Structure formats: structure tokens, C-alpha cells
Structure 1
């Protein structure tokens, strides 16, 4: 279950990172990881704002 969430997160992060950096670039995995962290932060913020109401 957690594996699916992480895989989906990395797929989304890879698609977003590919808009800014070529997949063949040496630093693509770093950019993908940074985008994944930003997506996790956005989801946590969204959940916190929804629960606040």
C-alpha cells in the first residue's frame, strides 16, 4: 500500500521534473526527488487546511 503511494508520487514527480530538466541529465534524479518532497509538503498542507475547517 505504501509502495503504491510512493511509486505514484515518484511518477508524478518525474513527469513534473521532466518539464524543467531533460530525463538524460545527470541531475534528473535529484530534481525528481526535490519535486517529490515539494509534492509531499503540498499534500500535507492541503490536508492540514482541510482539517482546520
Structure 2
């Protein structure tokens, strides 16, 4: 579980850096926000991918 969280935060850091300076106090909050958005997006894509193959 820790590996998945670290991977999400690793991916979310550059995205958060586009909107918030890394030196800002709010950077970690923005990083967690974008990590959650990435996690939700992957979940939604997986749900639609699995649900769309009903034949």
C-alpha cells in the first residue's frame, strides 16, 4: 500500500508544481489533492473499461 501511495505522490508532484510553488506551505496539500484526483481518474477509467465489455 505504501508503494502505491508513494507512486501517486511521485506522479502528482510535478502536476502540483505547475500550480503551486514547491516552496509554498500549501504544496503538500496540492500534491495530495492531485494524487487523489489521479487515483479517482484511474478508478473511473478502470470501472468504465470493465463495464463497457458487456456482450
* CA displacement 1:1-31 (0-9 Å, x = unmatched): x222111100111111011111000100000
- Which of the pair has more CA radius of gyration? 2
Aligned to 1:8: 7
What secondary structure sits across from 1:48 in the alignment? Answer: helix
CA RMSD of aligned residues (A): 0.8
Return the TM-score normalized by structure 2. 0.86
The runs of 4+ residues in structure 1 deviating greater than 2 Å are: none
In 2, Cα distance between equivalents of 1:48 and 1:26: 35
Return the TM-score normalized by structure 1. 0.89
Unmatched 5+ stretches in structure 1: none
